[in-house]
Amino acid sequence: RERVPKNIRARAGAPAGLFAVRFGDDLWEQVQAAVNWLQERVRAGELAWTDCAILYRYRAYQYPLALALAQAEIPHSQVDLRELFLTPVGQDITAYLTAVLAPTELDADMAQRLLKRPNKYFTNRFISSVHGWASLQGGGHDLPGWANDRLREFLDQLGLIQTELARRPFKSAALLYRLDLDFGLYEYYAEKGGDKRALDEETELIIWDTIYALAANFDRPAEFLAFIRETLARELAPPADNEGITLSTIHQAKGREYPTVVYFNLSQGAHGEEPEELEEERRVAYVGVTRARQDILITAQRGRPSPFLRELVQDPRYRQKTMGQLIKERNQLQKSLQKNPDAARQAELDRLEAEIAGRRLLDPPAPRR
């Protein structure tokens, strides 16, 4: 079905507000951009924390946002960070980190998880016989030759990473990247990507990306593993009235409005943009953008803005025109208006200026050499 281009713009006569976009190389940079922007606004006396909401497509994004807000001592909706590390992906990462950082502390559940995720094709009988690091390493397993070779290769890979960690420091995110390279975690989660459980619940791949973003906040892997353990052991405080920033999925925020909104991670690939899902996801993006009564910040991955962001900042009336043509028309209108002011032509000039600014925002010119 052919889509008719629409323009997601403020209604005629709507009060002026602030529209801003910030790009980040990864999720954590977007988190920092969102927190910094809100801090600047509140410090300037323009709004209170309770005027603000951070909205996102998937629930997993609340966890790095909540961590950054807590570090900045900014009040916000209660978030149970334990949920992230109790997901299958969270348990996988905890098991792999424990195997390379503190192998003697590997329990039966962790050891068995290592043998199953990603699938290494060991029998359930063998997997259930493993109760920790000692039994995993112990040998004497009644395995066929191919399985014994695969187990030895797996243990050798873990041992090599342990040796490299002893020789030189790894940052937490770099260690996760190395675990992915050696054991194919990212590809494994990507293959399971279609298994979404609800409108605002995420795939395992999105959870991996979220935990990877959290890891970027910890230089030493041991600190990150300690953080995971402390988080899992922590008691959640009783729920209290929110006296700060609202953290919410877009789905939960439907029907509500906030003076100031951060729309988090409006990026290509972050909204399940398969052809059959495109229209539904576009409606989700529209709901997210229109929750802001006055001001909005949109964050996105640098170089990968969502097509919905392009629709938001670009006017369909100019879609066939090049940047050069737009600039030429603008210059001609400016000269004409200097001689003969006219409200209609001034409105057209304003639209052209907005279109040029939007294109420059999404496609900045390459730096001069």
- Tell me the C-alpha to C-alpha distance, in Å, between residue 113 and each of 136, 181, 188, 199: 12, 18, 14, 28
In a 3-state reduction of DSSP, which class is residue 356?
helix
Say if residues 329 and 288 touch (Cβ distance below 8 Å). Answer: no
Residues in CB range of 163: below 8 A, 6 or more apart: none
In this predicted structure, the answer to whether residue 182 has a pLDDT above a threshold of 50 is yes
**pLDDT tens digits, one per residue of 95-132:** 999 999 999 999 999 999 999 999 999 999 999 999 99
What would the mean pLDDT of 280-287 be, rounded to a whole number?
Answer: 88
**pLDDT band for position 235 (cuts 50, 70, 90):** confident
Phi (first) and psi of residue 299, to 5 degrees: -105, 150
CA 290, distance to chain mean position in Å, is: 20
DSSP string, 191-220: HTTT---STT---HHHHHHHHHHHHTT-SS
Number of C-beta neighbours around residue 235 at 10 A: 6
Least confident of 8-12, 260-264, 276-280: 8-12
Q: In the structure encoding, which two tokens stand for residue 178, read together?
A: 């190395």
Residue 1 confidence (pLDDT): 45
DSSP annotation string for 61-88: GHHHHHHHHHHTT--B----THHHHHSH
Residues 345 and 326: beta-carbon distance below 8 Å = no
Containing 185, the helix (H) or strand (E) segment is helix 185-191
Handedness of CA 65, 70, 74, 78 (dihedral sign): positive
Name the least confident of 80-89, 243-252, 304-313.
304-313
Instruction: Tell me the C-alpha to C-alpha distance, in Å, between residue 144 and each of 118, 121, 123, 154, 238.
Output: 20, 12, 10, 15, 53
Provide the CA 256 distance to its chain's centre, in angstroms.
23
Gyration radius of the chain's alpha carbons: 25
**Cα atoms found within 13 Å of the Cα of residue 77, Cβ hemisphere only:** 15
The tens digit of pLDDT for each residue in 30-60 reads 999 999 999 999 998 879 999 999 999 999 9
